[in-house]
Structure 1
């Protein structure tokens, strides 16, 4: 059995679905169910005896301790995090509480559980911490992509809180011997992503006839990783990764935000044309850039390929096609997550 934290979120939910499609090993899912946590993502698992959901906070050390003692998992995968830069700028406190204090409490609960395991189970146990490329800061256009040895230079409250959590995980390994693994991934996209993020926001705004807001000049560059490829990489690192090591997970797909939006518009022009025959690109608007907006992220994932044999299966073209089609075909899921609170936030963030 494995314990997953944050498994009702975008990446965590996709991971649970992916895991149970490849394995009969059971999963316990601990999730606080904040605004981005959505159990509809996991509706297909209702009645599946391999899966159990528990609502709770990684900051609740007593609850974590009880779950660990009761279920005796061989591994814990920590997806739980506040993860949206825009929200971290508006309200950094929640990010510090969940990503820093929460990670500390999780590490302490796991440490006490791990210390009490029999020798053979202690040797086999793993804690896999899921992090982000944003901890490395920003890159100039000609600078090589981030490697695992890049210095941490976070520039937003979100990335600073994730950098702090990474440092805590590293320290608990070196000080206490806790058998940890860390992955730092590039921008994920795919099914079940909460529509505050760029790709689902653009898809849904486009088909609703709304403006497609792009920060600044739209030339910020990100490396795009299809979420199912990320899930595959996590399984690979969990089973084959070397304790104490960090692995960058990237899609080898550097794109500007403007290019991403134009790609979505081109797909929608073909799949679901506007009634007036015009391109969805005409809905693009440029808005004031957000404070401290990093210009470029890029991941060098050679270590993961060299040491563990992993490479992404999807190109950006195949992945974005699957993503656009998924959002067009899953209106019920979308309606359930785009609540009044979500609409209020979009209005506040992007204007009329």
Structure 2
């Protein structure tokens, strides 16, 4: 659509500038220097059409082409009046350069050379005042040059502002869509988490209500396992798969306390990479013999998950726990830390 609009505007510009140039060929009397008249018309058409078609239309004109346009603004009206002769300088075909150069200056504004366009307006006004007088210059085209350049600057400024507003609106819409999508995803995650929590804790809670909180040893052990499973689902769901859940169950049945915490270190990680991390975690849990195991995701650039085990020292049972397990799960070779 943009390409077709630009093509239409370019065709309109070509047709209009050609119409202005043709006006300089309808001589009601023979100019003193007809070849110079034709040469100026040719210079004008070459310059203005280069300004229309050069580049993509969205970038400023190169400086050399801007300089050529200013050179045309100097030569075309001055040489045209010189070539026409003293007696016919106020004829329509002798003053065509005022309108033609005004159109060229408007094109300079559209091509983001506003300063050059206003310099051209000054050149045009000074040249017209010198050859045909200031009053005639103003009435025959100098005022029109000011109006054309001013309107072109106003319109291009409004269009640029509209383009910026459109880009900002598009960005806001994209951000809004992303936020809505993320909220929808989080709601689905919460629903899944709640459903899983009900499935895990529901039977135990029902039993607690039925017995008034009086549970036997097996039921208490089952309640502790259910609590652990529920905490895992709430705090470290991205670390879990069937193998990891099985190893967590096995470790807890041996009497080990397990704390799992995902602090966002795995956000944005692809599923294939998560699978590799979970496989290593399941193996680390299978080898764990500690009394307490802590599993945490990491923000480190090379470490994805850290597994730490602590137990009471056999030499000093009443002293502080000692670290008897330290296992770091590195990011897979094809993954980067988020």
TM-score normalised over the length of structure 2: 0.24
Would you tell me which structure has more helix in proportion to its own residues? 2
The structure showing larger relative contact order (alpha-carbon pairs under 8 Å, at least 6 residues apart) is 1
Q: Which has the higher strand share?
A: 1
TM-score by length of 1: 0.23
